[in-house]
Amino acid sequence: MNTQESGFFTEENSADVVIARNAGTEDARLKEVMEVLTRHLHAAVKEIEPTQEEWFKAIMFLTDTGHMCNEWRQEYILLSDVLGVSMLVDAINNRKPSGASESTVLGPFHVDGAPELPLGSNICLDQKGEPMLVRGRILDTDGNPIAGAKIDVWQANDEGFYDVQQKGIQPDFNLRGVFRSDAEGGYWFRGVKPKFYPIPDDGPVGKLLGALGRHPYRPAHLHYIISADGFETLTTHIFDPDDPYIASDAVFGVKESLMAEFVPVDDPARIDAAGFDGPFLEVAHDFVLARP
Amino acid sequence: MNTQESGFFTEENSADVVIARNAGTEDARLKEVMEVLTRHLHAAVKEIEPTQEEWFKAIMFLTDTGHMCNEWRQEYILLSDVLGVSMLVDAINNRKPSGASESTVLGPFHVDGAPELPLGSNICLDQKGEPMLVRGRILDTDGNPIAGAKIDVWQANDEGFYDVQQKGIQPDFNLRGVFRSDAEGGYWFRGVKPKFYPIPDDGPVGKLLGALGRHPYRPAHLHYIISADGFETLTTHIFDPDDPYIASDAVFGVKESLMAEFVPVDDPARIDAAGFDGPFLEVAHDFVLARP
């Protein structure tokens, strides 16, 4: 009996027969992955007991989701996002020691090659929106400052759009910048308060969200990738706790520890010190990097 | 708290948070299906612990499988087939009372409107292949004959191709026909011995089969859809037990009860009675229809 012979298929033994058929898989990891997937897939089908029409609807949903994907649009990543799978994979790959800052999803809007800027620079190039000063420190898990950490930040504008979504409307590299922490681990830069925005919802995944009674919005946030020699790179956001969608992020990216208050400041001395010409919002948030 | 608020996501509570987020789903069946899928999907991801690279490989596999689908090719059905899901859905939807013939998958090559032919007709229109007489009876589960049952048959030729795959090479409706059982429930027709054939394996599913050390072949078979008033319609195949791929059908369609011997006949009287001019194969198989 060769490895492809595995007994005839019945409703009862279905997963075992399929797994046995894959016994000749050379790649041990692929074999393991397919065994787990086959077991859960067959268990789910047995629980659901789909009709032929339901099964075909699922086939067509998967087909349509594939057809929606092109060079600019990745509908399968959106599906992974709204099912919580992207955040689960992020969590599994970024388990942090106690005290280290938590990660969240990278998202599709990071751009390589954003300009490296002096601390305090204003990354809002078109003066649109509510001025904001963001500041904090980069620390290790013992509370010691990390000098020279690279802080790559990007954010949506006051209408919820990234520069790459509004070429020709926003300046290139609007609301993006790379900073280095100072000798005390400190960082600060200026921008504008970001706004919540919807994930693209004109495809099969948007239709699914609608059928599930869900909205497509992500609460307002700032993106960070923070890296330093000898530490694990941290990819995360900070969130506005007062955002209307803070408790219902369409992609499940919010964590309690990633909240940052947006505090109004109208003291003229502080306005002057921050380099603004009127009231602004101050967002203070420290990040703690883990050693590998 | 509205139905979209469901606590923040952690690795531990991930499936519960996603399921709670779907609490506003109006369609009760969709809600149930999504709950089962979410639970199994998150459990599988937690068992597998994919790296980000592995997760992205899965995203790209699903994307490529979608892109392979067009008007003529349904790669997601192929994926369902080789994972045993199509047969499992078939089994769930066609549980038969004891004694009734078992079902198997319809497959993609059925054509509506095949000609209705007198019993004994030869459905092989191009005289290519090894002549075959197929005969048997259509019965109820008490062994009584069912007269006037509609028997829709189709098969691949001696090279493993259906007419629709070889337009212009095979005559239209080659190796297809619709027959009616006689007063004793009997049916018979002539054809040629079918050959094993591969499922389309030039796409992502074929590549997966290769990585799993599996071949793409289906063992030789004849297709049937048998219907009669007052009975459940039976969609099934009969198989050649001596086929090299009988124990390793790429789509898991084979069942023990669907084997039919292909018996060589060289007795001149029987050759003459069957309407052939040389030795032929005789395939005898009865079908038992279930009442709803």
Which pLDDT tens digit goes with each residue over A115-136?
Answer: 999 999 999 999 999 999 999 9
Q: In angstroms, rounded to a whole number, what is the distance separating the alpha carbons of residues B230 and B278?
A: 41
CATH of A85-289, one of 3.40.1170.10, 3.40.640.10, 3.90.1150.10, 2.60.130.10: 2.60.130.10
Tokens standing for residue A89 = 């994979």
CA distance A116 to A288: 22
Cβ atoms of A230 and A291 closer than 8 Å: yes
Q: Give the residue on A whose Cα is nearest the Cα of B75.
A: A63
Distance from CA of A80 to the nearest CA of B (A): 8
> Which contiguous run of DSSP H or E holds residue A145?
none
Residue of chain B nearest A257, judged by CA positions: B8
Q: What is the pLDDT of residues A67-78, one digit of tens each?
A: 999 988 999 999
pLDDT-above-70 percentage for chain A: 98
Contact B216, B198 (CB under 8 A): yes
The structural domains of chain B, with segments of one domain joined by +, span: 14-82, 97-289
> Contacts of residue A17 in chain B, CB cutoff 8 Å?
84, 252
Q: What is the pTM of this model?
A: 0.93
User: Which of B26, B76, B91 lies at the smallest CB-CB distance from A213?
Assistant: B26
Give per-residue pLDDT as tens, A8-48: 899 999 999 999 999 999 999 999 999 999 999 999 999 99
Taking CB atoms and an 8 Å limit, are A88 and B45 in contact across chains?
yes
DSSP B194-226: ---EEPP-SSHHHHHHHHTT---EE--EEEEEE
Chain A nearest-CA distance from B31, in A, is: 7
Q: Who among A34, A40, A62 is closest to B40 (CB)?
A: A40
Which residue, among A83, A217, A246, would best test binding to B if mutated, counting the most B CBs under 10 Å from its CB?
A83
AA identity, residue B283: V
Find, among A254, A255, A282, the residue nearest to A267 by Cα. A282
Selected for mutation to probe chain B from A88, A208, A209 (highest B CB count within 10 Å) is: A88
Flag if A211 and B30 touch (Cβ within 8 Å): yes
Give me the tens of pLDDT residue by residue for chain B, a chain 292 residues long.
344 565 789 999 999 999 999 999 999 999 999 999 999 999 999 999 999 999 999 999 999 999 999 988 999 999 999 999 999 999 999 999 999 999 999 988 999 999 999 999 999 999 999 999 999 999 999 999 999 999 999 999 999 999 999 999 999 999 999 999 999 999 999 999 999 999 999 999 999 999 999 999 999 999 999 999 999 999 999 999 999 999 999 999 999 999 999 999 999 999 999 999 999 999 999 999 999 9
Predicted confidence (pLDDT) per residue in B25-68, tens digit: 999 999 999 999 999 999 999 999 999 999 999 999 999 999 99
Residue of B nearest to A256 (CA): B8
Q: Is A10 exposed, middle or buried (0-12, 13-18, 19+ CB in 10 A)?
A: middle
pLDDT for the residue A72: 85
User: With respect to CATH, is domain B97-289 assigned 3.40.50.150?
Assistant: no
